[in-house]
Amino acid sequence: MLYSIQNLKRSHGQTTILDIDSLEIQAGKVYALIGPNGAGKTTLLNILAFLDLPSSGELSFQGEAVQYHPRVLQRLRQKVVQLDQYPILFSGSVRKNVEYGLKVRKVERKKRQLMVEKVLALVGMSRFINADARTLSGGETKRVALARALAVEPDVLLCDEPTANVDAENQQIILDILKDCNSEKKVSLLFATHSLSDAARLADHTIVLQNGRLAQARKTNVFTIEHQEYRGSGSIWRIGGSLEYSQEVVDPGVPYASHVHLDPEKITCFPIDELPNVDVPFWQGTIRKIERHGKGIRLSVDCGVALQIMMSLEDYTSTNLHVEQQVGVSFRLTPDMFFNV
């Protein structure tokens, strides 16, 4: 286990900013941290980055209880890097910024140079290597800050709104880099975001914070849901802005929920010519990606919204699904899937 949190609280005076009973974060995974402003996302990231101290409770990192001694904290910080929402670059050149963490670790000059060039190439900022860091735009600053964080080859990368306030092109670049870091270098990634689509695209797991408390930790497939109308004894919802869903009223309270979480393991996917012989709503979509995920198979299906579907290896083999195949997907909404953010 990468992080393990038990009864952790962070307070300022009488105000409790963060109050988490229990949370476990696995190594090598991508976690999205979502929640409204003031939910405690940044505080949690600061605590996980060992930049802030919990007021009470226990935090374990890589199986060891964290001891809040300056030397211990410095050792732990050398494994975890946090990327701020508005990162700031030190005065001087881009090169000096990127090699800072390596200098701190007393990496020899030649190695430093090679690493700086490598990470700047990774973030597409090689031509700025000798530029004054203060002259860069917001998106470029974020990319250099990301390169500075990656240069030290951390075990964990914590990002506070990595795509906020940058243009669409830079957003995509940043998301691609983060994804590659996780898949190729096995960097554990935890990022706070307001973008549910970023969370759905990138994260294996989603952690939802509300008023400093952990809402039920949810995996992928978190979508906005709007109640459209009552029809007969049922209701019509719109999921993710485009998927129309009709079902018997699930719960009198749920029409007011803002989000829905569709458990990837409870979504059925079948070839379009093998419609299930039961009365459940289904939608037509196209398989965009098939990948191994743990002991099962994860399908990315585009059916108006990007759905992540998990199936066992046996089911996958028997259905003979393939990329770009037209498929049907079906699921049932239950009250526990609805929540507010």
Q: Which of 112, 105, 107, 111 is nearest to 81 (CA)?
A: 105
- Pick the stretch among 14-22, 146-154, 254-262, 273-281 that binds other proteins (CB under 8 A): 146-154
Q: Tell whether residue 272 is a contact of other proteins (CB under 8 A).
A: no
Q: Is 267 left (phi over 0), alpha (psi -120 to 50) or beta?
A: beta
Query: Where would I find the H helices in 33-93?
Result: 41-48, 70-77
CB 58, CB 5: distance < 8 Å: yes
Nearer to other proteins, 10 or 298 (CB): 10
CB 41, CB 33: distance < 8 Å: yes
- Pick the stretch among 59-67, 98-106, 211-219, 318-326 that binds other proteins (CB under 8 A): 98-106
Among 1, 72, 88, 249, binds other proteins (CB under 8 A): 88
Nearer to other proteins, 1 or 88 (CB): 88
Minimum gap (Å) between residue 104 Cβ and other proteins:
5
Q: Tell whether residue 91 is a contact of other proteins (CB under 8 A).
A: yes
Nearer to other proteins, 68 or 90 (CB): 90
Strands (E), 94-164: 156-160
Rg of the chain in Å (alpha carbons): 22
Among 25, 123, 147, 152, binds other proteins (CB under 8 A): 152
Minimum gap (Å) between residue 149 Cβ and other proteins:
7
CA distances from 220 to 208, 261, 264 (A): 11, 7, 7
Minimum gap (Å) between residue 10 Cβ and other proteins:
16
Strands (E), the chain: 3-12, 15-25, 30-34, 56-61, 64-65, 80-83, 156-160, 188-193, 205-210, 213-219, 222-231, 234-239, 243-248, 259-261, 268-271, 282-293, 296-302, 306-311, 326-330, 338-339
Q: Tell whether residue 53 is a contact of other proteins (CB under 8 A).
A: no
For residues 167, 173, 178 and 184, what is the CA-based torsion angle, rounded to 10 degrees?
A: 180
Question: How many CB atoms within 10 Å of residue 325?
Answer: 17
Q: Tell whether residue 86 is a contact of other proteins (CB under 8 A).
A: yes
Count residues near other proteins (CB under 8 A): 23
- Pick the stretch among 142-150, 168-176, 209-217, 270-278 that binds other proteins (CB under 8 A): 142-150
Binding mask 56-85 for other proteins (x = CB under 8 A): --------------x---x--xx-xxx-x-
Nearer to other proteins, 78 or 126 (CB): 78
> Which spans of this chain sit near other proteins (rule: CB under 8 A)?
49, 51, 70, 74, 77-78, 80-82, 84, 86-88, 90-91, 100-101, 104-105, 145, 148-149, 152
